[in-house]
Amino acid sequence: SQTIHQWPATLVQPVGSPLSLECTVEGTSNPNLYWYRQAAGRGLQLLFYSVGIGQISSEVPQNLSASRPQDRQFILSSKKLLLSDSGFYLCALSTGSVPYEQYFGPGTRLTVT
Amino acid sequence: DQQVKQNSPSLSVQEGRISILNCDYTNSMFDYFLWYKKYPAEGPTFLISISSIKDKNEDGRFTVFLNKSAKHLSLHIVPSQPGDSAVYFCAASAGLNAGGTSYGKLTFGQGTILTVHP
């Protein structure tokens, strides 16, 4: 079965510092990969999705970027964090058989101070 | 523009009773709907889904109903258990109608906090 790893689990960063969150998956090949953010008291907002290596689509304009250097690796980055970047970041995957059923990783809690 | 709405931020029920969670959507292109359950500090877990060609899907204690004309879906949990206490998100996708090019993008509601009291 497929497994999603995210690290770090928790991160506290000052405003203006860079960010790199990593997501890796096991147990499947060529998955669709997604980055979501859940801000405090709000729903899940899709940030980026990727259908293959080097292919990234952005859903909302923001201070963040994403990359997919390998089939099972998805990275979320920022050059300079803002206070509004605080939230719970979730990586998810879907497979070709049922692309709209997504499975989520454990998440990273980011606090920007 | 909130295309998927869960208008009840919270719901409290007694153990053994029915929990009914509601969700409304506005985009008529949505053709696949899902419910997720989320505990604090964890990722959401998939519960149950329904295609727009059906009006009901059942899996154990969980049943999802879809009313396309009203653009409304609901999740019924019977009987409710304390372990069901969590945040429930509904989500929608335009995967089929988009000719498979939506890449499974999901639009989520804001979530409903369900508390089941023993």
In tens digits, what is the pLDDT along chain B, a chain of 118 residues? Answer: 689 999 999 999 999 999 999 999 999 989 899 999 999 888 999 999 999 999 999 999 999 999 999 999 999 999 999 999 999 999 998 865 444 455 678 889 999 999 999 9
Tell me which range, A18-27, A48-57, A89-98, B90-99, is most confidently predicted by mean pLDDT. Answer: A18-27
Three-state secondary-structure class, residue B11: strand
* DSSP 8-state secondary structure symbol assigned to residue A2: -
CB contacts of A101 in chain B (<8 Å) are 34, 46, 49, 104
Round to the nearest angstrom and report the end-to-end CA distance of chain A.
Answer: 38
Q: Residue B105: which of A4, A49, A109 has the nearest Cβ?
A: A49
pLDDT tens digits for range A43-81 = 888 999 998 999 998 887 678 999 999 999 999 999 999
Between CA A31 and CA A13 the distance in angstroms is 30
Q: Using the beta-carbon criterion (under 8 Å), do A109 and B103 form an inter-chain contact? A: no
> Looking up tokens 């890796």, which residue turns up?
A24
- Structure tokens, B109: 């509601």
Candidates B90, B105, B112, B113, partner chain A, best to mutate (most A CBs within 10 A): B105
User: What residues form DSSP beta bridges with B22?
Assistant: B74
